[in-house]
Chains A and B, each alone.
Chain A
Amino acid sequence: QQQVKQSPQSLIVQKGGISIINCAYENTAFDYFPWYQQFPGKGPALLIAIRPDVSEKKEGRFTISFNKSAKQFSLHIMDSQPGDSATYFCAASRGGTYKYIFGTGTRLKVLA
């Protein structure tokens, strides 16, 4: 119940394409769903986050879609760029605990 399942494990997209990464969770007590971006040799950094009271959140080229009934959320990267090549982690946390459960990560490569 504490797991967050992330797919795919790796993704290759052409420049200008749409990258889509999916996550699923079981614990309905989770109420905060961030996405983190990690470049090689660096620590993860917050990209965008959503709460379950909204179904979509957009920041620039990055959009989170949230389906509460299906217990799924996804990250969409529009107009993907080579600079977006990184590893992306979804996560979930429960009711003010500040404790994240991270997905296993998706390694994205955007071809120039």
Chain B
Amino acid sequence: DAGVIQSPRHEVTEMGQEVTLRCKPISGHDYLFWYRQTMMRGLELLIYFNNNVPIDDSGMPEDRFSAKMPNASFSTLKIQPSEPRDSAVYFCASSLAGGPYEQYFGPGTRLTVT
């Protein structure tokens, strides 16, 4: 069974450009999480969805960040406009409702904003 799929794996963009990161969760999983990882701040939860509905977006840093989950097999995280401080590795994870609460992480997207 395929794990969580993220694309692209690497993204280099210039400041001010729009960036869209994509995630396909594990089939059948009800929860989807977006994290950001940096050396300074570690792993931060940005937003998570249950059954395609955003449940908690309190970690989204600014209005420049938005996330959508139009269906059970696809989610996007968009940054518009991007800034150099957005450079980080962005992970998507998914989980199955009913426990045991394990989150399965994708390989991440390394974003560099110049």
Do the beta carbons of B101 and A34 come within 8 Å of each other? Answer: yes
Q: Supply 10 A–B pairs (Cβ within 8 Å), ascending by A.
A: A43-B4, A43-B93, A43-B106, A43-B108, A46-B102, A96-B99, A99-B48, A100-B103, A103-B42, A104-B42
Question: How far is A43 from B107 in the complex, measured between Cα atoms in Å?
Answer: 5
Fill in one digit per residue for B77-105: 1 if any A CB lies within 8 Å of its CB, else 0: 00000000000000101010101111111
Size category of the binding interface on chain A: 20 to 34
Do the beta carbons of A99 and B105 come within 8 Å of each other? Answer: no
Do the beta carbons of B42 and A42 come within 8 Å of each other? Answer: no
- Which B residues lie within 8 Å of A72 (CB)? none
Nearest chain A residue, comparing its CB with the CB of B59: A99
Within 8 A of B (CB), among A30-75: 32, 34, 41-46, 49
- Which B residues lie within 8 Å of A46 (CB)? 102-104
Question: How far is A105 from B35 in the complex, measured between Cα atoms in Å?
Answer: 15
Report the count of interface residues on B (CB-CB < 8 A): 23
Once A98-B95, A99-B56 are accepted as A-B contacts, the answer to whether A43 and B105 lie under 8 Å apart by CB is yes
- Which B residues lie within 8 Å of A43 (CB)? 4, 91, 93, 105-108
Once A98-B48, A99-B48, A105-B43 are accepted as A-B contacts, the answer to whether A49 and B31 lie under 8 Å apart by CB is no
Question: How far is A102 from B100 in the complex, measured between Cα atoms in Å?
Answer: 17
Nearest chain B residue, comparing its CB with the CB of A32: B101
The yes or no answer to A93 lying at the interface (CB within 8 A) is yes
